[in-house]
Amino acid sequence: MAVAVAATSGTLTLSAQHVKSQWDGVYTVEQARRGEQLYDKKCSSCHGTDLNGGLHAPALVGSAFTPNWDNMSLDDLFERMRTSMPEDDPGSLTRRQTADILAFMLQKGRYPEGTADLSTETEMLRTYKFLAARPGGK
């Protein structure tokens, strides 16, 4: 019994060590392109064309952004965007539009692209953490 518990504990520890994150490539280049067009129309007037923030809106990339979201789920960020942005028309973005804009933000933050679009599903987004530092220091 002790061997079974140790083996199970070792498996759980190993699984817990690899946390899925935006570093795993969670969006496509095409999705980021769609997001860029939406960002230009809906977000850039407040957050800046370079995503570095404006007078009354925070940066969406870089050292002014990443510590605020470190170790939170991508769903936390997605829902914040979906329900409170744009400031002049909160909640007007569809789930697809929100995912596309988030994909653009991730691309501009220099996170790797993947082979599938960023999901719009809460359950899937909750399985990914936003990690300020790349796991394993790669």
Rounded CA gap, 122 and 112, in Å? 21
Tokens of 105: 């933000």
**Among residues 18, 138, 22, which one has the least CA distance to residue 75?**
22
Per-residue model confidence (pLDDT) at position 71: 97
By three-state DSSP, how is residue 114 classified? coil
Instruction: Answer yes or no: are the C-beta atoms of 69 and 57 closer than 8 Å.
Output: no
Contact 86, 46 (CB under 8 A): yes
Per DSSP (E only), the strands in 8-76 are 72-73
Q: What pLDDT is attached to residue 13?
A: 40
- The pLDDT assigned to 136 comes to 86
The structure tokens 């520890």 sit at 13
In three-state secondary structure terms, 21 is strand
- pLDDT string in tens for the chain (138-residue length): 444 444 444 444 444 457 899 999 999 999 999 999 999 999 999 999 999 999 889 999 999 999 999 999 999 999 999 999 999 999 999 999 999 999 999 999 999 999 999 999 999 999 999 999 999 875
* Angle at 102 (CA atoms; ends 96, 104), nearest 5 degrees: 105
Best CATH choice for the domain 20-137 from the list 3.40.50.300, 1.10.760.10, 2.40.30.10, 3.40.30.10: 1.10.760.10
In the numeric block, the tokens 């070792």 are attached to: 10
